[in-house]
Chains A and B, each alone.
Chain A
Amino acid sequence: MKHLLEVVNLQTAFQSEKSEIIAVDEISFTLNAGETLGIVGESGCGKSITSLSIIGLLGKKGRVKKGNIYFDNEDLAQTSESDFRKIRGNQISMIFQEPMTSLNPVFTIGNQMIEGIKLHMKLSTKEARSYAIEMLEKVRIPRAEEVMKEYPHVLSGGMRQRVVIAMALACKPKLLIADEPTTALDVTIQAQILELMRNLKEESETAIMFITHDLGVIAEMADKVIVMYAGQIVEEADVFTLFKNPKHPYTQGLMASIPHIEYEEEERLSSIPGTVPTPQNMPKGCRFHTRCPYVTEQCKQERPDLFQINDTHKSRCWLVKTEKHNKE
């Protein structure tokens, strides 16, 4: 089967005053139509940079240094900006964390929705207007017609995020990138938005890249999951395997450090000691070795690959390699 999105060995770099900083490295994954890929990791791990590389919004100082991003047989890493404008917002769209900053405060909701629809779908203003109202109703905004005339600041956070989702889905994108779409929202509103996204996904064949730091949201939404640490993928698996049988010590640490509400009593949380290394002083060998409880000499010297455990499960850890070796 042909993949909708295939990222091969992506490396993204940013130019700083003194030197070049590699923000993400050796990123490879695939995504099929109708699938939801969860990307989880802590701040600074490169999950947002990965998505911005795909949608071509790295800014002046950033660039895809190595690798390919195949989307529908086209390599987005090589696409010119003018061609990209036809894809962005049309075939690939994105939802950001903070709905207030992704809407323009000086234009009405209607204005902003109609602009994108007219640009990509070649509809008349009147047609675009009624289509925009239809989209707002689809994301269950009450009084859609009046909301079209309102400015973003009048709406609540949850309503704004619904507007952003309606805009993102208006052109029926093949790929939707959602970067922490519910992080700024309250839990009861988050539950509404997640349910909405699940329903919309069932109706269309849209593939979703769901970026979050919240393992609970990942468990709710994703089919398969990528765990990122310090600019690299450290583990990849389907969601059930990942939560049942995490292989990378970082994933294990992450899971152990969340307080659960469904358990009766927890005496003490385990935590991962230390902090994430900065790109300027990345440790030699495995990037996690300074915080890892199972560290060996090999980890300090050699960089592990993303080893295959089985067809769907990969982990960037020497332990996996040795374990496998011992079995054989």
Chain B
Amino acid sequence: MVDAFTVENIAPLLRVENLKTHYSIKKGVFSRNVGSIKAVDGVDFHINPGETLGLVGESGCGKSTVGKTLVGLERATAGNVFFDNKDILSGSGSEMKKVRRDLQIIFQDPYSSLNPRKRVKDILEEPIRVHRIVEPQLVSKRVDELLELVGLPRAFKNRYPHEFSGGQRQRIGIARALSLNPKLIICDEPVSALDVSIQAQILNLLKDLQKELNLTFLFIAHGLGAVKYISDRIAVMYLGKIVEIAKTEEIFMNPQHPYTKALLSAYPIPNPELRSKERIIISGDVPNPSNLQKGCNFYSRCPLAKSICRDEEPLLKGEKHPVACFAVNDEKKWNAGIRL
């Protein structure tokens, strides 16, 4: 891990500007467009080389859609994504093929992301052949190397995915992502389907691989423990927007946004002695993303909400620790509001 903050003016590997991914809702015989779900609605962030950015949030906040849009599995509605200073949203097919080599993804469910009718060998060989990573006669050697890299015996390459446990399958998924020597790997909830003791194995493996191969990660997860363990910086998402972004220690020791505070406070801590600690329990559910009102997306559940929060949308502001909240950024305006 490189502490990218000490190095000023380092060019980020990935820069995302005002990214929007909307899904249209179609209805009726003619599939008329009747509205849209704003899964990702104006997201800005960057990731420096060798860094891990954690992206956390609850289900439906759009964190996985960000990942999918970055690798081209979803089409962005608006915004720019620069990878290695190239705009990857407007690139041509052949250019994109090159970019995809450098930008890989690991999926959540190791059971559904591996083709059950292919042997491990075939799963790993295909991308190497398609992208002509090595000479044809060296492909099988490369597969052996990959298996070794993720801690699986070579003999496993002739087996089918169903013969493996969840943790082993996730290792195969990681080996597949590594097969093209990528620069950035998007890890979309890579450990949430696994048992606790296996989670630790995979998290350690990812950390080791990062050091060894100088990888950059976007680590998408809802488990705060895992995100804290692996990330250098963390971005917190709520309903398609980033509400807070800061270095990992900052987020955990000094959270600013009321949603981040509630999220941290709700997380059950494995220590019964701390059971009596005061919790911030926010009421209600996440609002329906197809029917969002103007103003701050969190105001319906926010303990600090005032009339300003309902009327105006807070922007992500701040140098070192950007937060999107009137109560934090614009106290004057917030104080003037009426308590909801």
Point out residues on A near B: beta carbons under 8 Å.
Answer: 42-43, 156, 158-159, 186-192, 194-195, 213-220, 222, 239-240, 243, 253-262, 264-266, 268-273, 275-276
Within 8 A of A (CB), among B184-228: 195-201, 203-204, 207, 222, 224-226, 228
Pairs A-B, 6 closest by C-beta atoms: A216-B268, A271-B200, A259-B225, A191-B266, A257-B200, A186-B58
| Chain B residue nearest in CB terms to A250 | B197
The interface residues of chain A lying within 8 Å CB-to-CB of B275 are 219-220
Q: Is the CB of A186 within 8 A of B270?
A: no
Residue of B nearest to A140 (CB): B283
Q: Please name the residue on chain A nearest to B165 by beta carbon.
A: A275
Is B268 within 8 A of A217, CB to CB?
yes
Known contacts A186-B59, A259-B229; A43/B270 CB under 8 A: no
Any A CB within 8 A of the CB of B292: no
Do B225 and A261 touch (CB < 8 A)? yes
Known contacts A243-B271, A261-B228, A264-B253, then 5 further A-B pairs from the complex at CB < 8 Å, ordered by chain A residue? A190-B268, A240-B272, A240-B273, A266-B229, A275-B167
8 Å CB interface, B223-249 against A: 224-226, 228-229, 249
Q: In the complex, which residues of chain B have a beta carbon less than 8 angstroms from the beta carbon of A240?
A: 272-273
Tell me, rounded to whole Å, the shortest Cβ–Cβ distance linking B255 to chain A. 11
Residues B148-199 near A (CB distance < 8 A): 165, 167-168, 195-199
When the two chains form their complex, are residues B226 and A188 in contact, meaning their CB atoms are under 8 A apart? no
Total contacts A-B at CB 8 Å: 125
Query: Known contacts A192-B281, A269-B204; is A262 also within 8 Å of B271 by CB?
Result: yes
Q: Is B328 interfacial (CB 8 A cutoff)? A: no
Q: Which residue in B249, B265, B267, B279 is a CB contact (below 8 Å) of A216?
A: B267
Residue in A closest to B58 when the chains form the complex, CB atoms: A186
Nearest-neighbour CB distance to chain A for B250, whole angstroms, equals: 12
The yes or no answer to B282 lying at the interface (CB within 8 A) is yes
Residues of B close to A276: CB separation below 8 A? 195
Determine if B196 and A268 form an interchain contact, defined as CB atoms under 8 angstroms apart.
no
A258 touches B196 (CB 8 A): yes
- The number of chain B residues with a CB under 8 A from chain A is 44
For B315, the chain A residues whose CB sits under 8 A away are none
Q: Is the CB of B196 within 8 A of A219?
A: no
Interface pair A243/B268, CB less than 8 Å apart: no
The chain A residue sitting closest to B195, CB to CB, is A42
Minimal beta-carbon separation of A179 from chain B (angstroms): 16
> Which residues does chain B contribute within 8 Å of A253, judged by CB atoms?
197
B37 touches A (CB below 8 Å): no
Cβ of B285 within 8 Å of any chain A Cβ, yes or no, is: yes
CB contact under 8 A between A268 and B204, given known A214-B268, A240-B273: yes
Chain A CB within 10 Å, residue with most, of B167, B249, B266, B279: B266
**Across the interface, do B200 and A187 meet the contact criterion of CB distance under 8 Å?**
no
Measured CA separation A212–B265 after assembly (Å): 20
Point out the residue from B273, B281, B285 that lies within 8 Å of A159, measured CB to CB: B285
30 pairs, A vs B, C-beta closer than 8 Å: A42-B195, A186-B59, A186-B286, A187-B267, A190-B266, A190-B268, A191-B268, A192-B283, A215-B196, A219-B272, A220-B272, A240-B273, A254-B197, A255-B270, A257-B197, A257-B200, A258-B196, A258-B270, A259-B200, A260-B269, A260-B270, A261-B252, A261-B264, A266-B229, A268-B207, A271-B201, A271-B204, A275-B165, A275-B168, A276-B195
A188 and B262 contact, CB distance less than 8 A: yes
Q: Tell me, yes or no, whether B139 is within 8 Å of chain A by CB.
A: no
CB distance from A276 to the nearest CB of B (A): 8
Instruction: Tell me, yes or no, whether B263 is within 8 Å of chain A by CB.
Output: yes
Judged by a CB distance under 8 angstroms, whether B138 is at the interface is no
Contact A187 B225 (CB under 8 A): no
Is B130 part of the contact surface with A, judged by Cβ < 8 Å? Answer: no
Beyond A186-B222, A266-B229, A269-B204, whether A43 also contacts B195 by CB under 8 A is: yes
Q: What is the distance, in angstroms, from A322's C-beta to the closest C-beta of chain B?
A: 25
Docked complex Cα distance between A195 and B252 (Å) = 23
Does B274 count as interface, using CB distance less than 8 angstroms? Answer: yes
Give the complex CA separation of A194 and B267 in angstroms.
Answer: 11
Select from chain A the residue with minimum beta-carbon distance to B199.
A257
Given the contacts A192-B281, A259-B226, A254 and B268 also touching, CB distance less than 8 Å: no
Contacting residue for A258 out of B167, B225, B249, B252, CB 8 A: B225
